[in-house]
Amino acid sequence: MKKNVLLSIVVLLALALAACAPAAAEGPAAAEGDTIKVANLSPLTGPVPTFGESTKNGFMMAVEEWNANGGILGKQIEPIVEDSQCTADPAVNAANKVIDQDGVHYIVGEVCSSASIPVSEVAQEKGVLMISPTSTNADVTLNLDGTTKDMVFRACFIDPFQGLVMAKFASDQGYTKAFVMSDQGNDYVRGLAEVFSEKFVEYGGEIVGSENYTGTDTDFSAILTKVADSGAEVLYLPDYYNVINLVAAQAKQLGITAVMMGADGWDSSDLDIAAADGGYYSNHYSPDDTRDVVVDWVSKYTEKYGATPDALATLAYDATNLLFAAIEKAGVDDAAAVATAMESLSYDAVSGTVTFDEQHNPIKSAVVLQVKDGAIQFVASVAP
């Protein structure tokens, strides 16, 4: 008995040491090599691994493109992908790992705000540049006192803009009654829903009802029955495509005629086009866009991964490109210098020409798209 216990302890210790030793040795030295290390933190396990997968794909795509073109500053880029589970503790561990063990100076990630916020604090503390592709929560780039974290950027719209775009669009179309559904546990959805409700009323509309659900729900019939009963003309549902597919299918079953509207979370090849027919959503770019960077991106991604890129992949691709462009602009492999360069960067990304405002949010225009007759069609473009 006792022997077994000792044995287990020894095995555990040996494992821990084996893992520690080489890493500790190479840690600081490797940072000076002739590659630039860039880390990507994605939720590859946990509740939303599919988002992690897309993000990782977008990231890797950008890295491969730059490497094929000779890297940055004459150095090749060494990508390091780490799993952050969309949860605070593993995300912090992953961030600490890439910073301390691998000596990374740049992080692209995390996807979920609930993981990006603690990571942003680590990044800020250790002087590592972080750009989150998709975290919409204002707290990611802002300190509690309202000052900007100088090492933290994001590549996505924050809540107010997309909510405003859709509210304006809905009232321009002559709709006056809207019903808002939002995921109580998801700040992306919640933020958009709040802004939409507020702006829609400002434009003279009426919110005839609003309901919350949780991210793990699959049965929306109780809420949809209320939607049907409320006489709403618009159902605003700014969630990801997986929820839209379920809601749209059930709405059809319940004979709901309200037009569904949403945000960039809809953008995915997995969106159930038949069920969501007639719905509108705001997005970063239109698939009809003829700019080279868009055409290139969509065709290359489709070729490599067999599906058109979703919003997460696009934003990860953009975020990574923005980072590399900033490094090149700065001319040195130094996180603080790159951050300064990033602030004044203007880059032609897939989602339009991007510049950053004082709170490190991107300034870029949005488009409104419609799901119609089995395809996604461009409807309108809205500048910030």
Contact residue for another protein among 212, 340, 359, 381 (CB under 8 A): 212
Question: Are the C-beta atoms of residues 99 and 122 closer than 8 Å to each other?
Answer: yes
Should residue 202 be labelled a site residue for another protein when binding is judged by CB under 8 A?
Answer: no
Should residue 354 be labelled a site residue for another protein when binding is judged by CB under 8 A?
Answer: no
Should residue 223 be labelled a site residue for another protein when binding is judged by CB under 8 A?
Answer: yes
Contact residue for another protein among 101, 162, 320, 351 (CB under 8 A): 101
| Distance in Å, CB of 184 to another protein, minimum | 5
| Distance in Å, CB of 271 to another protein, minimum | 9
Pairing of strands 206-213, 234-236: unpaired
The two three-digit tokens of residue 12, written as one number: 């555990």
Task: Considering only the stretches 67-75, 79-87, 169-177, 373-381, report the one whose residues sit in contact with another protein under the rule CB under 8 A.
Answer: 79-87
* DSSP state at residue 240: -
Amino acid at 54: S
For the chain, give the number of residues.
Answer: 384
Contact residue for another protein among 87, 173, 365, 381 (CB under 8 A): 87
- Residue 21 has φ and ψ, to the nearest 5°, of -55, -60
Should residue 172 be labelled a site residue for another protein when binding is judged by CB under 8 A?
Answer: no
Q: Is 52 or 71 the residue whose CB approaches another protein more closely? A: 52
Contact residue for another protein among 35, 67, 76, 114 (CB under 8 A): 114
- Residue 257 has φ and ψ, to the nearest 5°, of -105, -5
Should residue 88 be labelled a site residue for another protein when binding is judged by CB under 8 A?
Answer: yes
Q: Distance between CA 193 and CA 180 in Å, rounded? A: 6
Should residue 184 be labelled a site residue for another protein when binding is judged by CB under 8 A?
Answer: yes
Residue position matching structure tokens 């969630």: 239
Q: Distance between CA 155 and CA 192 in Å, rounded? A: 17
| Distance in Å, CB of 46 to another protein, minimum | 8
Pairing of strands 35-42, 106-109: parallel
The neighbouring-strand residues paired with 40 are 81, 108
The neighbouring-strand residues paired with 37 are 78
* DSSP state at residue 144: T
Q: How far is CA 201 from CA 100, 165, 166, 212, in A?
A: 49, 13, 12, 19
Q: Per-residue contact track with another protein, 30 to 59, x per CB under 8 A?
A: --------------xx-x-xx-xx------
| Distance in Å, CB of 131 to another protein, minimum | 19
Task: Considering only the stretches 137-145, 167-175, 283-291, 348-356, report the one whose residues sit in contact with another protein under the rule CB under 8 A.
Answer: 137-145
Kindly identify the residues of this chain, within the stretch 276-305, that bind another protein according to CB under 8 A.
none
Q: Is 184 or 299 the residue whose CB approaches another protein more closely? A: 184
Q: How far is CA 221 from CA 70, 225, 255, in A?
A: 54, 6, 11
| Distance in Å, CB of 36 to another protein, minimum | 16
Q: Is 76 or 87 the residue whose CB approaches another protein more closely? A: 87
Question: Are the C-beta atoms of residues 179 and 224 closer than 8 Å to each other?
Answer: no
Q: How many residues touch another protein (CB under 8 A)?
A: 81
Should residue 173 be labelled a site residue for another protein when binding is judged by CB under 8 A?
Answer: no
Should residue 77 be labelled a site residue for another protein when binding is judged by CB under 8 A?
Answer: no
Kindly identify the residues of this chain, within the stretch 5-34, that bind another protein according to CB under 8 A.
5, 8-9, 12, 15-16, 18-20, 23-24, 27
Should residue 222 be labelled a site residue for another protein when binding is judged by CB under 8 A?
Answer: yes
| Distance in Å, CB of 80 to another protein, minimum | 8
Q: Give the list of residues 6+ apart from residue 371 with CB closer than 8 angstroms, or none.
A: 271, 273, 276, 277, 278, 279, 280, 281, 377
Contact residue for another protein among 83, 239, 267, 318 (CB under 8 A): 83
Q: Distance between CA 219 and CA 216 in Å, rounded? A: 9
